[in-house]
């Protein structure tokens, strides 16, 4: 881990003239402010950068808005997207005076989650590995007014452009659900994904693979190596930053919105997770699919709290355009080896105990990674501590179950509003160890209910198609 002195020495060696302090807001957007390099001293790592938190969504009111951004030296890098050499530091947010971690700071919540894990004695490390999908579009337009609303996205790969006069149109458009994964010239985004990967590797992210995803029109996935909870969430924020800015360099736009296209696959964030202690994996054993009893109880905890978890792991109204029964979406709250129709899959690519893990499939990349991964850990730990049995595994293809069998399988909520109702009823497991607070949960439900209402109260363009002539 870098020390403050090593960070300062490295910044000088690289000719850094500015320091960019980055932090994540409540809902998962990276925010930043920038100071001259002359303002960076070893004391800053202890004292923090002062700033006004009153304009950050879900944070302080204006009469108590002074906050501290505490830089983490282990997160330092020279930002490749700044024209002037700039040192980037990810910060945790603290209160002025006491320097206590701010209870609504997502990174602080994740840090408390790791401390709570240690306090249980069950394990010392929670490992997470997300698979985030996204779209790269050539153009996006949208508007919403009192008297009208529309959106339009476009991509040269889109099947809807097969008849467009491109002078010449060379074909090779990707049919719906056939983007996984033909070579070029059908896949036009090999090089831009590779550039994203190389940039990630330059900044210390270990890449495993990249490829086109299932949907037409530029759906992509880049997978990076698993790590501990906070480090993985830090990496996910940097990952999004790189994807969006490399796309921008190429005159394109990238989005992690889960369902930007009708009639094709949405973008998920399947999240692999396991517990370790003293360097040994704890999820390998002699039970179902080579799992340990601890892993089964961890699954039991996630399944018990899955509907409440959706409010944090699938946290937008758009998330529930992806989580729709009857399509290839992970809506069935069951577990199974290899079976991608279950919400929890146990990968079986390797017999190595170190590779034994579970994969939770409902989350999507609109989630704040710090909150998502911490909530999953808290649910899993609740299962382990209370020995919650997960029930029998479901090894059938649940997309093809007859209705009389499918009705017995619980499913994720049908809307953000429904997920918030479940979170309101079921959040005690999140409060253990003061990881989340009641204040945070109440704030989250309040703000997300306003989002749900914003959609509920507006006429939808397709309603004019259905009802204008009534």
Q: Which residues are catalytic?
A: 52, 131, 133, 213, 221, 270, 340, 359, 361
Q: Which contacts (CB < 8 Å, 24+ apart) does range 436-441 have?
A: 436/109, 436/374, 436/375, 436/378, 437/103, 439/103, 439/104, 440/103, 440/104, 440/109
Q: Tell me how many degrees the CA angle 281-284-288 measures, rounded to the nearest 5.
A: 160
Beta strand segments in 96-124, E: none
Which residues are CB-neighbours of 352 under 8 A, at least 6 positions away? none
Sign of CA dihedral 413, 415, 418, 423: positive
Peptide bond into 168 cis (omega under 30): yes
Pull the structure tokens for residue 122. Answer: 């069950």
Using CA atoms, how far apart are residues 285 and 289, in angstroms rounded to an integer?
9
DSSP codes, 410-465? -B--SSHHHHHHHHHHS-HHHHGGGSS-HHHHHHHHHHHHHHHHHHHTSPPHHHHH
Which residues are CB-neighbours of 467 under 8 A, at least 6 positions away? none
Pull the structure tokens for residue 448. Answer: 């997300």
188 within 8 A of 156, measured Cβ to Cβ? yes
DSSP codes, 279-340? TEESSBSSSGGGB-HHHHHHHHHHHHHHHHHHHHHS-STTHHHHS-TTSSS--B--EEES-T
347 within 8 A of 339, measured Cβ to Cβ? no
Beta strand segments in 16-73, E: 18-24, 30-36, 49-52, 66-71
Which residues are CB-neighbours of 168 under 8 A, at least 6 positions away? none
Q: How many CB atoms neighbour CB 233 within 10 A?
A: 29
Cα dihedral value 144, 53, 424, 450, nearest 10 = -20
φ, ψ dihedrals at 408, nearest 5°: -85, -10
464 within 8 A of 330, measured Cβ to Cβ? no
């Amino acid at each position: 881990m870098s020390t403050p002195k090593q960070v300062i020495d490295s910044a000088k060696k690289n000719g850094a003239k500015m320091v960019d302090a980055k932090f994540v807001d409540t809902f998962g957007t990276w925010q930043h402010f920038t100071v001259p390099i002359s303002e960076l001293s070893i004391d800053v790592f202890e004292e923090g950068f002062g700033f006004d938190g009153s304009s950050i969504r879900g944070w302080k009111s204006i009469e108590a808005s002074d906050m501290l951004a505490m830089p983490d030296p282990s997160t330092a890098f020279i930002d490749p997207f700044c024209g002037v050499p700039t040192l980037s530091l990810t910060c945790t947010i603290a209160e002025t005076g006491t320097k206590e971690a701010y209870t609504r700071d997502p990174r602080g919540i994740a840090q408390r989650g790791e401390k709570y894990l240690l306090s249980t004695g069950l394990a010392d490390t929670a490992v997470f590995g997300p698979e985030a999908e996204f779209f790269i579009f050539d153009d996006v337009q949208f508007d919403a007014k009192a008297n009208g609303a529309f959106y339009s996205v476009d991509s040269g790969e889109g099947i809807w452009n097969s008849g467009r006069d491109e002078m010449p149109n060379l074909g090779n458009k990707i049919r719906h659900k056939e983007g996984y994964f033909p070579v070029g010239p059908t896949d036009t985004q090999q090089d831009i994904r590779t550039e994203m990967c190389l940039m990630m590797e330059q900044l210390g992210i270990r890449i495993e693979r990249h490829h086109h995803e299932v949907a037409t029109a530029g759906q992509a996935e880049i997978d990076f190596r698993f790590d501990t909870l906070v480090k993985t969430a830090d990496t996910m924020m940097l990952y999004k930053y790189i994807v969006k800015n490399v796309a921008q360099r190429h005159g394109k736009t990238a989005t992690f919105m889960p369902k930007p296209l009708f009639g094709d696959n949405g973008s998920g964030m399947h999240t692999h997770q396991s517990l370790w202690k003293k360097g040994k994996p704890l999820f390998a054993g002699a039970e179902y699919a080579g799992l340990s009893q601890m892993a089964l109880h961890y699954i039991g905890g996630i399944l018990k709290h899955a509907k409440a978890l959706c409010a944090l792991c699938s946290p937008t109204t758009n998330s529930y355009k992806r989580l729709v029964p009857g399509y290839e979406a992970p809506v069935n709250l069951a577990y199974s080896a290899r079976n991608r129709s279950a919400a929890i899959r146990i990968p079986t690519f390797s017999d190595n105990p170190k590779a034994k893990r579970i994969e939770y499939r409902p989350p999507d990349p609109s989630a704040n990674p710090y909150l998502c991964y911490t909530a999953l850990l808290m649910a899993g730990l609740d299962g382990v501590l209370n020995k919650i049995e997960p029930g029998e595994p479901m090894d059938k293809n649940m997309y093809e179950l007859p209705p009389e069998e499918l009705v017995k399988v619980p499913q994720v909520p049908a809307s953000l509003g429904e997920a918030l109702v479940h979170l309101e009823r079921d959040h005690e497991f999140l409060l253990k160890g003061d990881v989340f607070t009641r204040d945070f949960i109440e704030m989250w439900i309040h703000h997300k209910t306003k989002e749900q209402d914003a959609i509920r109260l507006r006429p939808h363009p397709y309603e004019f198609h259905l009802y204008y002539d009534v």
